[in-house]
Amino acid sequence: MKIDQTTGLLDTAKYLPSPHCNERPSDIDMIVVHNISLPPAEFGTGWVEKFFCGKLDHSAHPYFETIKELKVSAHLFISRLGVITQFVPFQMRAWHAGVSGFDGKENCNDFSIGIELEGTDDSPYETIQYQKLADLIQILQKTYPAITRQRIVGHSDIAPGRKTDPGPSFDWRYLDCVLATCSA
């Protein structure tokens, strides 16, 4: 797994370009971990990928009507099976954090990479998702050394009171164990 510095794309990820992105005003120095599933708590439906590409069929499920105005994206999505999809090149700003702040700076989209895990706040994540996330973190830290471990956080850490993901089901200590042993 490696990043093509010219295109800003991972060589091993499936690339589905999202229109929900624009130029970054700042250098990359942070990773934000999220969860998503569409419809909520249903996995492997293919709707998340369509949602991030602005191609959700709003009539397909009642929940989709409630999110039809949202224009959001993430750089990366890790499915329950560990399949990685990229939607936005790393040098571009994806729209995943919303109103947010960390370490004295607001608008975390400006300087972060957003990684979505397929899941919910209260269902345990798959081991393969931790492994893929750890692989991604190691590759991203090599490319963007300003991403220190303290700057790998959850959406709930940068938008407290507004966002709860990746939720209590995300085991940060287990992630650190996987990071300590993996060699991507």
Active site residues: 116
In angstroms and rounded to an integer, the radius of gyration of the C-alpha atoms of the chain is 15
- 110 vs 184, which CB is nearer to Zn ion? 110
- Name the minimum Å distance from CB 15 to Zn ion: 21
- 4 vs 122, which CB is nearer to Zn ion? 122
- 9 vs 94, which CB is nearer to Zn ion? 94
CB atoms within 10 A of CB 101: 14
Task: Please give the Cα distance from 114 to 154 (Å, whole number).
Answer: 10
- Name the minimum Å distance from CB 74 to Zn ion: 8
Which amino acid is it at 152? I
Q: What are the φ and ψ backbone dihedral angles of 91, each rounded to 5 degrees? A: -75, -10
Instruction: Specify the residue for token string 């269902």.
Output: 123
- Name the minimum Å distance from CB 163 to Zn ion: 5
Binding positions for Zn ion, rule: CB under 5 A: 34, 155, 165
Task: Please give the Cα distance from 50 to 55 (Å, whole number).
Answer: 5
Which residues on adjacent β-strands are paired with residue 10? 3
